[in-house]
Structure 1
Amino acid sequence: MILYIGNHTSSSKGYVAMGRQMLKNGGNTFAFFTRNPRGGKAKEIDPADVERFLELSRENHFGKLVAHAPYTMNACAAKENLRDFAREIMADDLKRMEYTPGNYYNFHPGSHVGQGTETGITKIAEILNDVLTEEQSTTVLLETMSGKGSEVGATFQELRDIIDRVEKNNKLGVCLDTCHVWDGGYDIVHDLDGVLDEFDRVIGLSRLKAVHLNDSINGLGSHKDRHAKIGEGQIGLDALVNVVCHPALEGIPFILETPNDDEGWKREISLLRERYSMKGD
């Protein structure tokens, strides 16, 4: 059994630096923002840096990487200039992702800002239909959301409805965020099997490509989205270990987005690896 686990890190120093830091943290995958998470500017990619990273990744048997779109990208915004921004960012990011082919590009579906969920779903699908290509090797992941405000994607059915409207939906998957689904009302503490069964019935487990592993400050169904360190929130260590060890999730990358620094992530990765090994014995 192989546990692919890492944390969300900064891409500002390049791919090799991210990979080396993750090895120091005990990880064998990681997530990174494709550009400034609060803006639109992307750093130039150095092909030589990418080649060195790909070699580092092969030597250390890294799992799939999970790139993250900027938070400012709203595919179902009411203003067309904001949707144009989202379309341009996503199209550019998908081109850049081909430097490291075969990985994942994760994004928050967006907020319908009062237009209604159905309108939001339609607009998200329109942009995906504009940017997805048959040639791309990257799988685009819709992230499960907590339902804060007018967020789209707080239920599995909403994600399914987006997928069904996308022509090239063979290029789509889902990233399940444990804090978000818990805050959204899915009881992964007492009924993890039931939650995954519902995911399979509505979306299909074959589309579950990555997990953001986070504890939550808030209670079940709070619709808040406040991440906590592993074992220090309302979900708790035992439940999160059950997620990591669930056979339906074997082989997919687990990404920590906990409020930590590298030393904190190193401790969390070590703890989860230890508990994963104990479960496997």
Structure 2
Amino acid sequence: MLKIGCHLSISKGYYKAGLDALAIDANTFQFFTRNPRGGSAKKIDLKDIEKFTKLFNENGFAPLFAHGPYTMNLCSDKRDIRDFAKNVFKEDLERLKLLPESYYIFHPGSHVGQGVEKGIDYIVEAMNDAIKEDCETTVLLEGMSGKGTEIGGRLEELKLIIDGVKHNKKVGICIDSCHLYSAGYDVVKDLDGVIEEIDKSVGMDKLMAVHLNDSKMEFASNKDRHEVLGKGTLGKEAIINIINHPLLKDLVFNLETPNELDGYKNEIAFLKANYKE
């Protein structure tokens, strides 16, 4: 069974988001843990979570994608920004204990000129501060497009971070088809080769989730611009190959394409029609 969803708003609660997911034939969804451009988190509604958990279990949802805010830069050159990011990280992991199974996905951050090595040191420090031996949530570093000074555009950087985390049993990566292509990993012409690189650099056992997006940008552009499936530089054939690859097809996929619910519904129908059980 294809495990597929899209990014949904939880402004009206998790239960409403769950109903929206079911209405478009999704069996998971992604949400922001808090204001993606700020830092505030919505007050927890235990009754809403109870209703959603029942819905989740009754409908066989796959793990959710809980996405950290864009303002969370664990490797900033400014101490106050790093401290803010650390607090967000720890608070989000605590809040996720109340929800059904979720993957916590976040952008590693931008070193803003300090250098990759220093940036990775800061990220590892923050993750070791937040992730304890009894951590219940799977934490996933998102692979990036490599724009500017962001960390995570190279698979080797993700591996260095994971290796630096003391309690890393539940730490892995989430790949993004658009980001990979923009970072110079050719998922269109050499998907097998890219998967071999993932296995060699990070390990397939650490690949837990996929953001499925087409791209507005050319190969190796290092620019992050998502496109509707089949309308970008990856194209429909590459997307179909990704969801059917033997080493990827059982992972959880979520769409971050520029769509409303109707658009996501059409994309999910297209993917299910082309998925080989």
TM over 0.5: yes
Deviation at 1:136, TM superposition (A): 2.2
Report the Cα distance in structure 2 between the residues aligned to 1:16 and 1:134, rounded to whole angstroms.
31
Pair 1:244 & 2:247 matched: no
Report the Cα distance in structure 1 between the residues aligned to 2:182 and 2:260, rounded to whole angstroms.
24
Deviation at 1:147, TM superposition (A): 0.4
Deviation at 1:55, TM superposition (A): 1.0
Alpha-carbon deviations, 1:214-249, whole Å to 9, x = none?
000011100010000000000011101111111111
Correspondence for 2:41: 42
Correspondence for 1:17: 16
Correspondence for 1:140: 139
Secondary structure (helix, strand or coil) at the match of 1:21 reads helix
Secondary structure (helix, strand or coil) at the match of 2:28 reads coil
Report the Cα distance in structure 1 between the residues aligned to 2:206 and 2:189, rounded to whole angstroms.
23
| Structure 2 counterparts to residues 108-127 of structure 1, below 5 A | 108-127=107-126
Pair 1:103 & 2:75 matched: no
Secondary structure (helix, strand or coil) at the match of 1:247 reads coil
Secondary structure (helix, strand or coil) at the match of 1:223 reads coil
Secondary structure (helix, strand or coil) at the match of 2:217 reads coil
Deviation at 1:46, TM superposition (A): 1.1
Report the Cα distance in structure 2 between the residues aligned to 1:263 and 1:118, rounded to whole angstroms.
43
How many correspondences in the alignment?
277
Deviation at 1:11, TM superposition (A): 1.4
Correspondence for 1:167: 166
Report the Cα distance in structure 2 between the residues aligned to 1:203 and 1:97, rounded to whole angstroms.
26
Secondary structure (helix, strand or coil) at the match of 1:31 reads strand
Correspondence for 1:74: 73
Deviation at 1:201, TM superposition (A): 1.1
Report the Cα distance in structure 2 between the residues aligned to 1:4 and 1:15, rounded to whole angstroms.
19
Deviation at 1:144, TM superposition (A): 0.3
Correspondence for 1:131: 130
CA RMSD in angstroms comes to: 0.8
Contact 1:101 1:138 in 2 (8 A): no
Contact 1:75 1:123 in 2 (8 A): yes
Correspondence for 2:214: 215
Deviation at 1:54, TM superposition (A): 1.1
Normalized against structure 2, the TM-score is what? Answer: 0.98
Deviation at 1:204, TM superposition (A): 0.8
Alpha-carbon deviations, 1:183-212, whole Å to 9, x = none?
000000011111011101111111111100
Percent of residue pairs bearing the same amino acid type: 52
Secondary structure (helix, strand or coil) at the match of 2:169 reads helix
Structure 2 residue identity aligned to 1:35: R
Report the Cα distance in structure 2 between the residues aligned to 1:31 and 1:106, rounded to whole angstroms.
10
Contact 1:74 1:83 in 2 (8 A): yes
Structure 2 residue identity aligned to 1:255: N
Structure 2 residue identity aligned to 1:184: A
Contact 2:242 2:249 in 1 (8 A): no
Deviation at 1:77, TM superposition (A): 0.2
Report the Cα distance in structure 2 between the residues aligned to 1:209 and 1:164, rounded to whole angstroms.
16
Correspondence for 2:225: 226
Correspondence for 1:265: 264
Runs of 5+ in structure 2 lacking a partner?
none
Correspondence for 1:63: 62
Secondary structure (helix, strand or coil) at the match of 1:170 reads coil
Alpha-carbon deviations, 1:164-195, whole Å to 9, x = none?
11111112110000100100000000111110
Runs of 5+ in structure 1 lacking a partner?
none
Report the Cα distance in structure 2 between the residues aligned to 1:47 and 1:108, rounded to whole angstroms.
28
Correspondence for 2:92: 93
Deviation at 1:64, TM superposition (A): 0.6
Contact 1:132 1:171 in 2 (8 A): no
Contact 2:162 2:168 in 1 (8 A): yes
Deviation at 1:101, TM superposition (A): 4.4
Correspondence for 2:2: 3
Secondary structure (helix, strand or coil) at the match of 2:56 reads helix
Structure 2 residue identity aligned to 1:193: D
Secondary structure (helix, strand or coil) at the match of 1:20 reads helix
Report the Cα distance in structure 1 between the residues aligned to 2:212 and 2:3, rounded to whole angstroms.
12
Runs ≥4 residues deviating over 6 A: none
